């Protein structure tokens, strides 16, 4: 059974109570109870179908309409005719437009017949106008209910869509972070291991220092991975440390120099005014660019420039004496950098430079991340 069918079925008890209340309210001061038995049966036929009004709106309106036609034929006026208005409201609230239009026209035909038979002499137009106004009020109330329900449904769908987009965005963020963390730290550890292997006999002290750097890099990688996978987790003091930013570019450069990549960082402007999220983006951009240099341009020299101005940050990472201008470094790393920059409405240019080397230039709009 569909969810809508279950909801309509569960509404039967409430609608049955409504029908019972309307039945008792419209009995009148003795007209029906003191009349013939068929009058009580007619009263019941006019009201009882309302117990299923939300389960089968058109069928209920039809059943009440048949009872009203019998009443008209018998020339009996009963207050229970108000059930027609409830039935019209239900059709307008729960059925498509074509059903609503048919129900409204059918009820208006009944209004004309009732006015023709029971309107006081000379009061036919006023009787038609009054009955039509009541039918129109029931119709408009039903249409308003349907529109409101559709609006609420659209809000729920929009909320679900936003939730799915948020999940997708979080997954993309975690993917970018994991790529940057794993690629960078593994590249550094491999370079340090190679360095230690080359000097283990000639310079054991340098080899030991390289091994210490490998261990420190591994611990840093584990900490960054825990922070990336559990950004709200506070199980240890380490995870409570702020995310890396521009201030951590100095230690990052030292780790790169330990691998043999000469790295210099230069900053201008008020870096403290850069928001924490933007600082993390800048850090990841520099980290990815230096990792690419370490992997693709052995023996290069890296220059990092951070220029901060009001509402704007420019990040430039250039390596010289490395890969010739025909080299390429396109891949997931460049794609991840473009996505990070796009989140701040910025631009990224990455490519070879004349005479050999590679340059990454990113411009971030610090106004409001998107």
pLDDT reading at 92 higher than 80: yes
Q: What is the pLDDT of residues 16-29, one digit of tens each?
A: 898 888 888 887 65
Enumerate residues 6+ apart whose C-beta is below 8 A from 240.
234
Pick the more confident residue, 157 or 30: 157
Which residues are registered as beta bridge partners of 308?
313
3-state secondary structure of 362: strand
* 61, 88 Cβ separation under 8 angstroms: yes
Considering the entire predicted model, what is its pTM?
0.52
pLDDT of residue 165: 79
In this prediction, residues 87-115 reach a mean pLDDT of 93
pLDDT of residue 32: 67
Q: Which of 4-8, 22-26, 281-285 has the highest mean pLDDT?
A: 281-285
**Sign of CA pseudo-dihedral 241, 244, 248, 252:** positive
User: In the chain, what percentage of residues exceed pLDDT 90?
Assistant: 33
Edge-to-edge strands, sheet with 312-320: 262-268, 301-309, 312-320, 358-365, 347-352
Q: What is the largest CA-CA distance in the chain?
A: 123
User: In the chain, what percentage of residues exceed pLDDT 70?
Assistant: 86
pLDDT reading at 168 higher than 60: yes
pLDDT reading at 256 higher than 50: yes
For residue 298, count other CB atoms closer than 10 A to its CB. Answer: 14
* 349, 314 Cβ separation under 8 angstroms: no
- One CATH from 2.60.120.380, 3.40.50.300, 3.40.50.150, 3.30.565.10 for 246-370: 3.30.565.10
Joined tokens for residue 152 = 């609420």
pLDDT of residue 242: 64
Provide φ and ψ at 231, rounded to 5°.
-65, -20
pLDDT of residue 91: 95
pLDDT of residue 327: 46
* 25, 39 Cβ separation under 8 angstroms: no
pLDDT reading at 84 higher than 90: yes
Pick the more confident residue, 235 or 103: 103
CA distance 17 to 27: 16
Domain ranges of the chain: 3-118, 246-370
CA distance 37 to 33: 8
Q: How would DSSP label each residue in 120-143? A: PTT-HHHHHHHHHHHHHHHHHHHH
CA distance 315 to 267: 9
Query: Of the given ranges (95-109, 264-278, 325-339), which has the lowest mean pLDDT?
Result: 325-339
User: In which band, very low, low, confident or very high, does the pLDDT at 280 lie, cut at 50, 70 and 90?
Assistant: confident
Q: What share of the chain is helix, strand, coil (3-state, %, to 5)?
A: 65, 10, 25
pLDDT of residue 1: 45
In this prediction, residues 178-183 reach a mean pLDDT of 73
Enumerate residues 6+ apart whose C-beta is below 8 A from 186.
221
Bridge pairing between strands 358-365 and 347-352: antiparallel
User: In which band, very low, low, confident or very high, does the pLDDT at 330 lie, cut at 50, 70 and 90?
Assistant: low
Mean pLDDT of the chain: 82
pLDDT reading at 350 higher than 50: yes
pLDDT of residue 5: 52
Joined tokens for residue 141 = 């109330």
- Give me the numbers of helices (H) and strands (E) for the chain, helices first please: 11, 5
* 258, 210 Cβ separation under 8 angstroms: yes
pLDDT reading at 157 higher than 50: yes
pLDDT of residue 267: 93
pLDDT of residue 226: 73
User: In which band, very low, low, confident or very high, does the pLDDT at 125 lie, cut at 50, 70 and 90?
Assistant: very high
User: In which band, very low, low, confident or very high, does the pLDDT at 108 lie, cut at 50, 70 and 90?
Assistant: very high
In this prediction, residues 77-87 reach a mean pLDDT of 91
* 327, 352 Cβ separation under 8 angstroms: yes
pLDDT reading at 336 higher than 50: yes
In this prediction, residues 335-363 reach a mean pLDDT of 86
Query: Of the given ranges (29-43, 79-93, 280-294), which has the lowest mean pLDDT?
Result: 29-43
């Amino acid at each position: 059974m569909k969810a809508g069918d279950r909801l309509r079925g569960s509404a039967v008890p409430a609608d049955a109570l409504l029908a019972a209340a309307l039945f008792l309210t419209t009995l009148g001061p003795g007209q029906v109870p003191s009349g013939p038995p068929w009058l009580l049966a007619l009263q019941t036929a006019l009201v009882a179908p309302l117990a299923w009004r939300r389960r089968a709106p058109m069928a209920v309106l039809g059943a009440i309409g048949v009872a009203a036609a019998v009443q008209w034929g018998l020339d009996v006026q009963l207050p229970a005719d108000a059930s027609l208005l409830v039935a019209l409201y239900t059709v307008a609230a729960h059925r498509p437009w074509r059903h609503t239009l048919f129900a409204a026209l059918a009820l208006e035909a009944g209004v004309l017949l009732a006015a023709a038979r029971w309107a006081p002499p000379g009061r036919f137009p006023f009787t038609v106008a009054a009955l039509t106004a009541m039918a129109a009020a029931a119709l408009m109330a039903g249409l308003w209910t349907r529109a409101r329900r559709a609006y609420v449904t659209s809000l729920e769908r929009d909320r679900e869509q936003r939730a799915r987009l948020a999940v997708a965005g979080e997954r993309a963020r975690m993917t970018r972070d994991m790529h940057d963390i794993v690629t960078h730290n593994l590249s550094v550890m491999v370079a340090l291991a190679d360095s230690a292997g080359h000097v283990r006999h000639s310079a054991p002290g340098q080899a030991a220092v390289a091994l210490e750097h490998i261990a420190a890099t591994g611990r840093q990688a584990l900490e960054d991975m825990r922070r990336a996978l559990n950004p709200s987790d506070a199980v240890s003091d380490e995870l409570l440390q702020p995310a890396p930013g521009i201030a951590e570019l100095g230690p990052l450069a030292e780790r790169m120099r330990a691998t043999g990549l000469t790295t210099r960082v230069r900053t201008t402007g008020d870096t403290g005014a850069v928001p924490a999220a933007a600082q993390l983006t800048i850090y990841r951009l520099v980290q990815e660019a230096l990792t690419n240099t370490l992997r693709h341009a052995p023996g290069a020299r890296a220059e990092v420039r951070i220029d901060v101005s009001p509402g704007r940050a420019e990040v430039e990472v250039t390596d010289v004496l490395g890969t010739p201008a025909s080299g390429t470094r396109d891949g997931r790393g460049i794609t991840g950098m473009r996505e990070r920059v796009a989140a701040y409405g910025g631009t990224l240019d990455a490519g070879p430079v004349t005479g050999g080397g590679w340059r990454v230039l990113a411009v971030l709009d610090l106004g409001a991340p998107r």
